[in-house]
């Protein structure tokens, strides 16, 4: 009897030992699996140059992965607070983007993506990042946190930029070829029209309407030739000069002086509103800014000229306003040219779209201005109707973050 009891006890003890061994084996296997999954996750973050994070909307604090520390160039395990992220890590010009996205997620409770620039803390270099944000809701549908993935996309942005430059150069070469083939025919048209005009003026009876038509032919041919050459220079992206101080008030005044004759003829007044203590602004793209100003001023003058509701009793005017905005400049160009119909707001920036018979109806002025603003200046160009009976174009030009290799 005693032997049976002892045997059962030995069996239970061995069984318990075996169960402990199995438990330990499973535990070790689980730890190993966790280590493997963590290592794979870290490698994935390193390969994609990305990281994940969770934002506590109550404490306004981030909980971040190792990838986020690498993307932002932060010391490992440093606490990341929202105010530090917004005011120290994000480029000042882009803080409004981040805050707008945060508010958008809170309002829509849906996934939102955005691109903005950061200042990498370990080397102070400016980098582009792409972020996808997902809200976390409680049982009542209230947002209790946000989670997201942030990826450094600077290299991708550079490739996009270089591709855009190649496309612009291709358009420039096409226009160059077009201008070469059109040059001789346009010269012949101009010469023959001039000869016809001279021959007709020698006759006893002069038909003024014929002379006017011949003059129009010559002027149109010259305009077409100049337009092709003008846009060819824009699309062929020759390197600009090194950083130079750009005097906005002086350049705007020069633009108005260049247009003084037509503005006097059309009885258009101009006003420049700029504080005397504007911060200095350096840029390698002075020609691009000058081209944008020329295009937008031409656009404003033509809008006033074609305005069917033009009232002689009202002062026609163009207002250039410039001010410091964050680290860059904000420029507004307002006119009294009648405004834009609601249906045209989304189409006026498209190439070859025009609501008027402007310079040979090219429809390229606003398209080129927006292209130069976005691509060369990394800024924004928007428009809206104003309260003085026309359109206001708003340009934001940040201090340049070069994307050239």
* Distance in angstroms (rounded) separating the CA atoms of residues 278 and 325: 10
- Calculate the alpha carbon distances from 126 to 72, 153, 401 in Å: 10, 11, 7
pLDDT in tens, 295-328: 899 989 988 988 878 887 889 999 999 998 766 8
Task: Produce one character per residue of 25-40: b if its CB has 16 or more CB atoms within 10 Å, e if not.
Answer: eeeeeeeeeeeeeeee
Question: CATH fold of 239-405, please?
Answer: Heat Shock Protein 90 (3.30.565)
* Distance in angstroms (rounded) separating the CA atoms of residues 165 and 175: 15
* β-bridge pairing 282-283 and 316-325: unpaired
pLDDT higher than 70, residue 32: no
Q: How confident is the model at residue 238 (pLDDT cuts 50, 70, 90)?
A: low
Other CB atoms within 10 A of residue 299 CB: 21
Dihedrals phi, psi of 394, to nearest 5 degrees:
-115, 125
Place of tokens 């002892």: 6
Copy the structure tokens of residue 392: 């206001």
Place of tokens 């020609």: 287
Per the prediction, the chain carries an average pLDDT of 78
3-class secondary structure, 74: coil
Other CB atoms within 10 A of residue 8 CB: 10
Q: Is 404 left (phi over 0), alpha (psi -120 to 50) or beta?
A: beta
Where are the domains positioned within the chain? Answer: 49-152, 159-238, 239-405
Question: CATH fold of 159-238, please?
Answer: 1.20.120
Run of H or E residues at 232:
helix 208-235
Q: How confident is the model at residue 126 (pLDDT cuts 50, 70, 90)?
A: confident
- Least reliable range by pLDDT among 71-85, 104-118, 390-404: 390-404
Query: Residue 297, exposed/middle/buried by CB under 10 A (0-12, 13-18, 19+)?
Result: buried
Q: Which CATH class is domain 49-152?
A: alpha beta
């Amino acid at each position: 009897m005693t032997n049976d009891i002892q045997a059962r006890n030995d069996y239970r003890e061995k069984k318990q030992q075996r169960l402990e061994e199995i438990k330990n084996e499973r535990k070790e296997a689980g730890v190993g699996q966790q280590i493997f999954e963590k290592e794979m996750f870290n490698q994935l973050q390193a390969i994609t140059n990305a990281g994940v994070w969770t934002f506590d909307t109550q404490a306004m604090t981030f909980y971040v992965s190792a990838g986020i520390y690498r993307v932002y160039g932060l010391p490992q395990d440093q606490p990341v607070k929202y105010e530090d992220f917004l005011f120290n890590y994000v480029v000042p010009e882009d803080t409004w983007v981040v805050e707008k996205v945060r508010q958008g997620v809170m309002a829509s409770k849906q996934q939102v993506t955005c691109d903005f620039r950061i200042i990498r803390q370990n080397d102070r270099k400016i980098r582009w990042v792409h972020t996808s944000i997902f809200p976390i809701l409680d049982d009542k549908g209230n947002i209790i946190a946000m989670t997201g993935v942030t990826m450094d996309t600077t290299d991708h942005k550079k490739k996009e930029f270089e591709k855009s430059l190649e496309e612009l150069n291709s358009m420039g070469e096409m226009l160059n070829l077009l201008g070469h083939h059109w040059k001789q025919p346009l010269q012949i048209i101009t010469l023959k029209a001039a000869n016809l005009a001279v021959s007709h003026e020698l006759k006893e009876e002069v038909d003024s309407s014929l002379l006017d038509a011949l003059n129009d032919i010559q002027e149109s041919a010259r305009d077409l030739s100049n337009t092709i050459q003008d846009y060819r220079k824009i699309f062929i992206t020759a390197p600009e000069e090194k950083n130079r101080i750009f005097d906005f008030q002086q350049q705007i005044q020069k633009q108005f002086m260049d247009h003084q004759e037509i503005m006097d003829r059309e009885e258009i007044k101009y006003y420049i509103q700029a504080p005397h203590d504007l911060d200095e602004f350096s840029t390698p793209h002075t020609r691009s800014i000058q081209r944008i100003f020329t295009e937008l001023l031409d656009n404003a003058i033509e809008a006033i000229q074609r305005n069917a509701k033009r009232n002689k009793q009202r002062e026609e005017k163009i207002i250039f306003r410039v001010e410091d905005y964050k680290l860059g400049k904000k420029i507004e160009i307002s006119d009294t040219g009648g405004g834009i119909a609601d249906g045209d707001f989304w189409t006026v920036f498209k190439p070859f779209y025009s609501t008027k018979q402007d310079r040979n109806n090219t429809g390229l002025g606003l398209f080129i201005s927006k292209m130069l603003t976005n691509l060369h200046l990394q800024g924004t160009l928007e428009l809206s109707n104003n309260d003085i009976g026309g359109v206001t174009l708003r340009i934001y030009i940040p201090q340049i973050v070069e994307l050239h290799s």
